[in-house]
């Protein structure tokens, strides 16, 4: 597999530059100034992507939401280490939303998958609705996907929270993004494996090619 330049750039922006910005700003602005500086590269990356493509991808949205949440927590009296939780706060909110949706009529993954199908095939939405109504195993699969993603995101938030409060800041800045990419990759790998089970349900072949989280 070849590494795409855009992916390499994303790794540099989210792994190397935050640590470098923190190190450069620390002597002048202290921990708070260094942490704010570490948030600038991923923020700028997200803004440039929005201006260039006129859309915001999910990962960039999580970064921006997390930074906004952590800055808000600091303004309300939270410590400087709240900034370390920027992506985790956002992914935790998303994870809780996934889990809470299990108590509603339809889980969140159903709506995300249906939206993807709607972009790919005109008749996809109608087939999706029919599967939900007539195939109990399909509905159960949507709930399992929602549960696993919700639990994974909430678990990551708890782990990163512990790391943020107990680890040295420089170590956290370097390890935390690796943890985020690792968890996302693990969830995606499991989702691709689990999708093969969903495809065995009658009527889903060709419908769920990319219609997962």
pLDDT digit string (tens) for 88-98? 777 888 899 89
Domain ranges of the chain: 5-199
Cβ-in-10-Å burial (0-12, 13-18, 19+) of 192 comes to exposed
Mean pLDDT of 122-151: 86
Query: Is the C-alpha dihedral spanning 69, 165, 189, 193 positive or negative?
Result: negative
DSSP string over 163-212 = HHHHS-HHHHHHHHHHHHHHHHHHHHHHHHHHHHHHHTSTT-TTTSSS--
CA distance linking residue 46 with residue 35, whole number of Å: 18
pLDDT of residue 48: 75
CA distance linking residue 200 with residue 111, whole number of Å: 21
pLDDT of residue 213: 39
User: 């159903």: which residue's tokens?
Assistant: 110
pLDDT digit string (tens) for 99-116? 999 999 999 888 888 877
CA distance linking residue 75 with residue 87, whole number of Å: 17
With 0.75 as the threshold, say if the pTM is over it: no
Residue 27 pLDDT greater than 70, yes or no: yes
């Amino acid at each position: 597999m070849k590494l795409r330049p855009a992916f390499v750039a994303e790794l540099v922006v989210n792994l190397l530059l935050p640590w470098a910005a923190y190190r450069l700003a620390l002597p002048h602005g202290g921990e708070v100034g260094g942490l704010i500086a570490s948030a600038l590269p991923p923020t700028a990356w997200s803004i440039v992507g929005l201006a260039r493509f006129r859309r915001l991808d999910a990962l960039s949205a999580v970064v921006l939401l997390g930074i906004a949440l952590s800055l808000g927590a600091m303004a309300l009296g939270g410590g400087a280490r709240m900034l370390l939780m920027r992506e985790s706060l956002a992914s935790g909110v998303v994870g809780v939303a996934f889990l809470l949706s299990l108590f509603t009529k339809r889980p969140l993954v159903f709506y995300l998958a249906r939206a993807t199908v709607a972009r790919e095939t005109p008749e996809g939405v109608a087939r999706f609705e029919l599967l939900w109504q007539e195939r109990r195993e399909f509905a159960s699969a949507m709930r399992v996907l929602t549960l696993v993603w919700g639990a994974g995101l909430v678990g990551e938030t708890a782990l990163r929270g512990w790391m943020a409060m107990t680890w040295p800041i420089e170590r956290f800045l370097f390890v935390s993004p690796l943890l985020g990419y690792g968890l996302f990759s693990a969830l995606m790998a499991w989702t691709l494996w689990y999708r093969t089970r969903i495809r065995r349900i009658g009527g889903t072949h060709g419908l769920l090619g990319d219609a997962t989280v």
